[in-house]
Structure 1
Amino acid sequence: MSREGLLAGQVALVTGAGGGVGQGIALRFAEEGAAVALHCRTSVSGAQEAAGRIRAAGGAAVVLRAELTDEDACRDLVRQAAEWGGGRLTALVNNAGVQPVQDLAGMTAADWRAVVDTNLTSVFACTQAAAELMRDQDGGGSVTHIASVEARSPAPGHAHYCASKAAVVMHARSAAQEYGPWGVRVNTVSPGLIDREGLAEAWPEGVRRWRQAAAAGRLGRPEDVGDACVFLASRMASWITGHDLVVDGGASARPTW
């Protein structure tokens, strides 16, 4: 791992780092010189695999488990990451989330809350805890939420997911205002369809339509999301806050008529 990369000297916490996108973000942060705390809830093996790759390449990584629908657990996670980082935490990436498919007509309030608490309330709690810590350190810090293109373009069966991601975008804009005087920048990255093992076989029509819609002609990769997060956490983005960076290969530029 680079000691002279864009994030050299930084300590980062990536939530949901056991899945494909989370792994991609964590690996890119480490490649750019950051020490990385990888959070997971159930995907322990995935987080451990990514941490092992980081260490094998000479980087620093630790795996931390937490249930992020619990506010106290969010605060404890941030505290543990900072303690592991020698008392510092310079970057937080709120990536953990769920994306169930369920018709709005048959959805219960419990179904709704399960998605909102995981995708939105955890973002609020982790960001609040991280900002309080970053406020007291030289250089402040950065927070990046992983939102979605579905924050603007809803899909059938995703009403709770789309609403939670739209709220994540607005949370970042609000937090950018209030935490800016603390030296804390808050942004979002909104990915389009990100490839994963078995996706083309499980959803061939959706993959075909996405490739046709995207100007770049392909699905996204976890490292595409990681690159955007690295940029927003780096000094190159020191005057960028409250911004939603869409990473969708140009699919959102497609005409709608």
Structure 2
Amino acid sequence: MLDLTGTVALVTGASGGIGRGIALRFAEAGSAVAVHYHRGATRAAAVVAEIEASGGAAVALEADLSSDGACQDLVRAVVGWGGRLDTLVNNAGIQPVEPLPGMAVQSWRAVLETNLTSAFSCTQAAAEVMTGGSVIHIASIEAAQPAPGHAHYSSAKAALVMHARAAALEYGARGIRVNTVSPGLIDRPGLADDWPEGVERWRRAAPLARLGTPTDVANACLFLASPLATWVTGHNLVVDGGVASHPSW
């Protein structure tokens, strides 16, 4: 039921971190994967090489998703390469830290353009070529519980959750399912050294007592793209090790 052989997936922001984990997991399940990147050409090429070394099919495609028409061009490139598009994972995003008082409007717009508008544009473009299939937005638990310095980021992620519900409503007649995955704190190399107090607070708060991994997020995406989720749409799947159940008082 998790075999995606014969399908084609586009993962935006797939040159590293969570996006890389999603691309690798979809390739492992048999999907041909379009690895989108903006500036990480070398990292994207490494993801493609890793997939191909395991016998999978992948291609790296560059696009600035904030540019007019870029999402449409990207989707056309994917279909030109793979012949179809079955799954879109809107993972591209940025996460700057900037206090709300004094936040420049340019900073606000940059975060919303990258994290929210790109998903809107890519979803719209993908839906025009998809025959059924799955669209998955990578949101965040900050969509429901903001962190200091993340007013723009949290707002964008909250809007992603609502966009998925709205898109599920309007694209359902075409057989296209739209959902979000909201990760908690995902580990990366050096995180414990860069933010030791935050990592320790997270471990204490999470019932499963660990940080998440890109594979944890990728597995949730794989489920939503698979035949196991053919009646799941408009849903926000929280992947946080249970931290949202921790009392906040």
TM-score higher than 0.5 = yes
- 1:83 deviates by 1.2
Q: C-alpha separation between the residues in 2 aligned to 1:186 and 1:118?
A: 19
Count of paired positions: 249
The aligned amino acid for 1:161 is Y
Aligned to 2:98: 102
Counterpart of 1:11 (choices 8, 11, 18) is: 8
After TM superposition, what 4+ stretches of structure 1 lie above 6 angstroms from structure 2?
Answer: none
Counterpart of 1:196 (choices 173, 184, 188) is: 188
1:156 aligns with 2:148: yes
1:143 aligns with 2:135: yes
Aligned to 1:114: 110
CA RMSD between the two structures = 0.9
The aligned amino acid for 1:133 is V
| Corresponding residue SS for 1:106 | coil
Contact 2:2 2:228 in 1 (8 A): no
Q: C-alpha separation between the residues in 1 aligned to 2:47 and 2:207?
A: 31
1:47 aligns with 2:44: yes
Counterpart of 1:78 (choices 75, 80, 84) is: 75
Q: C-alpha separation between the residues in 1 aligned to 2:27 and 2:201?
A: 34
* Structural mapping, 1:205-216, within 5 Å: 205-216=197-208
Contact 2:9 2:86 in 1 (8 A): yes
1:59 aligns with 2:56: yes
The aligned amino acid for 2:185 is L
The aligned amino acid for 1:166 is A
Structure-2-length-normalised TM-score: 0.98
1:36 aligns with 2:33: yes
- 1:5 deviates by 4.9
Contact 1:187 1:244 in 2 (8 A): yes
Q: C-alpha separation between the residues in 1 aligned to 2:227 and 2:68?
A: 30
Percent identical? 64
Aligned to 1:177: 169
Counterpart of 2:85 (choices 82, 89, 105) is: 89
- 1:141 deviates by 1.1
Contact 1:71 1:125 in 2 (8 A): no
Is the alpha carbon distance of 1:91 and 1:201 closer, same or farther for their aligned partners in structure 2, counting shifts above 3 Å?
same
Contact 2:2 2:223 in 1 (8 A): no
Counterpart of 2:211 (choices 205, 219, 222) is: 219
Contact 1:145 1:187 in 2 (8 A): yes
What 5-or-longer segments of structure 2 have no aligned partner? none
